[in-house]
Amino acid sequence: MKVIFKLILVFFVLNFYACSSDDDSNDDNTVSLEGVWLLSTLSVESSFDFNNDGVASRNLYEETPCYDNDFINFREDGTVNIVTALTSITIEITSPTEYGHVYECLNGFDQETTWTRNGNTITVENGSTDFIGTISGNTMTVFIENFFQIEMYDGMDYSYPEEDVVLVYTKQ
């Protein structure tokens, strides 16, 4: 039996976040937000070994090629272009007590919206809910609490815990 869960909503919302960080150094105010920021990390709380290297990782960016072309392009006119892929992860049950997760890269989306900056705080418009983050040097870190819903199987029952997501973008 295969059960599919989607990351579609995760990637839709995560790309509206700009960043967050504990580093509020004044030097970060001089970093220009405008330009292309490439995704370099997409971490969840559970570990996977999709790339079959024998090492499970929480960083889905390292484990799959799905996010290799994800980016955010902040423009001087206050608009932002967000390009992201999507992933479908399926549970593959091999016995009543053993299973694994299998992924499939899906076509994503190309979204346009607006942004503003106040010091190191970045706000990205998203309808009635704005997303706020912080910039630190050439890195934007996005934290989304309880946002990634993953399907788990214990040999008898399925559960759907929510996990935190951390995304890191690096300016090009």
Express each pLDDT in 32-70 by its tens digit. Answer: 889 999 999 999 998 889 888 999 999 999 999 999 999
Q: Which domain covers residue 43, as residue numbers?
A: 2-171
Q: Is-contact 114 17, C-beta < 8 A?
A: no
70-118 pLDDT, tens digit per residue, is 999 999 999 999 898 888 777 787 877 777 888 889 888 888 999 988 8
Task: Give 130's pLDDT tier (boundaries 50, 70, 90).
Answer: low
pLDDT at 38: 94
Distance CA 18, CA 170 (A): 11
Domain count, the chain: 1
Nearest to 14, CA basis, from 44, 56, 57: 44
pLDDT at 76: 93
Q: Which two tokens stand for residue 108?
A: 């994503």
Q: Is-contact 91 151, C-beta < 8 A?
A: yes
